[in-house]
Amino acid sequence: MSSKRDLVVAISFFIFGASILYSLANMHVNPGVNIVYLNHYIVPNYVCAIIFDWRAYDTLGECLVLVVAVMVSWIVFGKSLYDNSYLKEVFHAPESDDYITLQRWGDYTPIIKFLAYPMSILMVALGILTVLGGHITPGGGFQGGALIASGFILSIIAFGSKSPLWFDHKFLERMEALGALGYLLLGVAGMFIGGYYLFNFTQINGIPVFPAPKDIITAGIIPYLNIVVGLKVLAGLSTAAFLLSCEKVIIEKISKSEEKLE
Amino acid sequence: MNFLPMIIVFPLIMAIIMNLLHGKEKAVKYLTFATAIVLIALPFIGEYGYYYFSGHGVVDGWISGIAYLYNPAKQAVIITLSLIASLVLITGMGEKLKNNMFVTLSLMGFASISAIVLADDIFNLYVFFEIISIVQAGLVFLSGTEEAYKAGLRYMIIGSVAAALMLLGITFLLASTGTLNISDMKHHLLTDNPMVYGGLLLLIVGLAYGSGLPPFHNIKADLYARSKGFISAMLQTYSKFVLVGLMLIILKLFNGLSYFSSAHAVLIALGVLAMVFGVVMALLQSDYKKLLAYHAISQGGYVATGLALGTPLGIVAGIFHAINHVIYKSALFLGAYIVSCKRGSNLHKLGGLLPLMPYVAFMVLCAKLAISGVPPFNGFQSKWMLAEAAMQVNMPEIAIIMIIVSIGTFVSMMKAFYLIYLKPVDEETLKEYQGKEVPKLAVFSLFVLTALCIIIGLDPSLITNYLWDYAREIGVNYCLK
Query: What distance in Å separates the CA atoms of residue A200 and residue A219, rounded to the nearest whole number?
Result: 8
Segments in B310-439 forming alpha helices (H)? 312-343, 358-371, 378-392, 396-417, 427-434
Give the number of other Cβ atoms within 10 Å of residue B265's Cβ: 11
pLDDT digits (tens, 9 = 90+) for B255-312: 878 777 788 888 999 999 999 999 999 999 889 999 999 999 999 999 999 999 999 9
Q: Is the pLDDT of residue A97 over 80?
A: no
Mean of pLDDT values over A226-243: 90
pLDDT tier at B433, thresholds 50, 70, 90? confident
Question: How high is the pLDDT of residue B335?
Answer: 93
Which chain A residues are Cβ-neighbours of B62 within 8 angstroms? 32-33, 36
pLDDT digits (tens, 9 = 90+) for A138-196: 888 899 999 999 998 888 888 776 778 878 888 888 999 999 999 999 999 999 998 89
Which amino acid, residue B242? V
Whether residue B218 contacts residue B280, with contact meaning beta carbons closer than 8 Å, is answered with: no
Pick A229 or A249 by higher pLDDT: A229
pLDDT tier at B104, thresholds 50, 70, 90? very high
Segments in chain A forming alpha helices (H)? 2-25, 34-39, 46-49, 56-76, 85-90, 110-132, 141-159, 169-194, 222-245, 248-261
Q: Chain A contact for B455, CB < 8 A?
A: no
Is the residue at B146 inside a domain?
yes
Average pLDDT score over chain B: 91
Chain B contact probe: residue of A5, A53, A55 with most B CBs at under 10 A: A55
Question: How high is the pLDDT of residue A161?
Answer: 67
Is the residue at B480 inside a domain?
no
Question: How high is the pLDDT of residue B223?
Answer: 92
pLDDT tier at A247, thresholds 50, 70, 90? low
pLDDT tier at A102, thresholds 50, 70, 90? very low
pLDDT digits (tens, 9 = 90+) for B120-149: 999 999 999 999 999 999 999 999 899 999
Q: Is the pLDDT of residue A99 over 80?
A: no
Which chain B residues are Cβ-neighbours of A201 within 8 angstroms? none
Is the residue at B96 inside a domain?
yes
Domain that holds residue B264: 6-474
Is the residue at B479 inside a domain?
no
Q: Is the pLDDT of residue B34 over 90?
A: yes
Query: What distance in Å separates the CA atoms of residue A240 and residue B133, rounded to the nearest whole number?
Result: 18
Q: How many domains does chain B have?
A: 1
Whether residue B383 contacts residue B275, with contact meaning beta carbons closer than 8 Å, is answered with: no
Mean of pLDDT values over B91-117: 92
Question: How high is the pLDDT of residue A127?
Answer: 94
Of A190, A262, A260, A259, which is closest to residue A224 (Cα–Cα)?
A190
Kindly list the distances between the CA atom of residue B328 and the CA atoms of A86, B94, B233, B466, in Å, as whole numbers in the listed order: 33, 21, 10, 20
Of B92, B88, B109, B91, which is closest to residue B100 (Cα–Cα)?
B92
Interface of B with A in 171-230 (CB under 8 A): 172, 174-181, 184, 188, 193-195, 197-199, 201-202, 228
Interface of B with A in 398-417 (CB under 8 A): none
Question: How high is the pLDDT of residue B369?
Answer: 94
Mean of pLDDT values over A35-61: 90
Q: How large is the greatest C-alpha to C-alpha distance in chain B, in angstroms?
A: 78
Whether residue B107 contacts residue B34, with contact meaning beta carbons closer than 8 Å, is answered with: no
pLDDT tier at B388, thresholds 50, 70, 90? very high
ipTM: 0.91
Query: What distance in Å separates the CA atoms of residue A59 and residue B304, rounded to the nearest whole number?
Result: 31
Q: Is the Cα dihedral B280, B281, B282, B287 positive or negative?
A: positive
Question: How high is the pLDDT of residue A105?
Answer: 52
Q: Is the pLDDT of residue A93 over 60?
A: no
Q: How far is CA A260 from the centre of its chain?
A: 31
* Cβ–Cβ gap B149/A76 under 8 Å: yes
Q: CB-based contacts of B5: which residues, under 8 Å, 6+ apart?
A: A187, A191, A197, B51, B53, B68
* Cβ–Cβ gap B142/A82 under 8 Å: yes
Whether residue B228 contacts residue B88, with contact meaning beta carbons closer than 8 Å, is answered with: no
Question: How high is the pLDDT of residue B272?
Answer: 95
Is the residue at B313 inside a domain?
yes
* Cβ–Cβ gap A184/B108 under 8 Å: no
* Cβ–Cβ gap B179/A191 under 8 Å: no
Mean of pLDDT values over B450-455: 94
- DSSP H or E stretch at residue A210: none
Is the residue at B1 inside a domain?
no
* Cβ–Cβ gap B16/A177 under 8 Å: yes
Query: How big is chain B, counted in residues?
Result: 481
Question: How high is the pLDDT of residue B458?
Answer: 93
pLDDT tier at A103, thresholds 50, 70, 90? very low
Q: CB-based contacts of A251: which residues, under 8 Å, 6+ apart?
A: A91, A93, A94
Which chain B residues are Cβ-neighbours of A32 within 8 angstroms? 62, 174, 177-179, 188
Q: Return the residue of A nearest to B16 by Cα.
A: A177
Q: CB-based contacts of A153: which residues, under 8 Å, 6+ apart?
A: A237, A238, A241
pLDDT digits (tens, 9 = 90+) for B349-358: 888 888 888 9
pLDDT tier at B467, thresholds 50, 70, 90? very high
Q: Return the residue of B nearest to A88 by Cα.
A: B144
Question: How high is the pLDDT of residue A259?
Answer: 65
Pick B193 or B40 by higher pLDDT: B40
Is the residue at B259 inside a domain?
yes
* Gap from A259 CA to chain B (nearest CA, Å): 11
Of A27, A58, A55, which is closest to residue B199 (Cα–Cα)?
A27
Question: How high is the pLDDT of residue A92?
Answer: 63
Range with the poorest average pLDDT among A157-166, B16-25, B91-100, B276-285? A157-166
* Gap from B414 CA to chain A (nearest CA, Å): 31
Whether residue B74 contacts residue B50, with contact meaning beta carbons closer than 8 Å, is answered with: no
Q: DSSP letter string over B261-280?
A: HHHHHHHHHHHHHHHHHHHH
pLDDT digits (tens, 9 = 90+) for A195-211: 899 998 888 888 888 88
Q: Where are the domains of chain A?
A: 44-261
Q: Chain B contact for A178, CB < 8 A?
A: no
Is the residue at B169 inside a domain?
yes
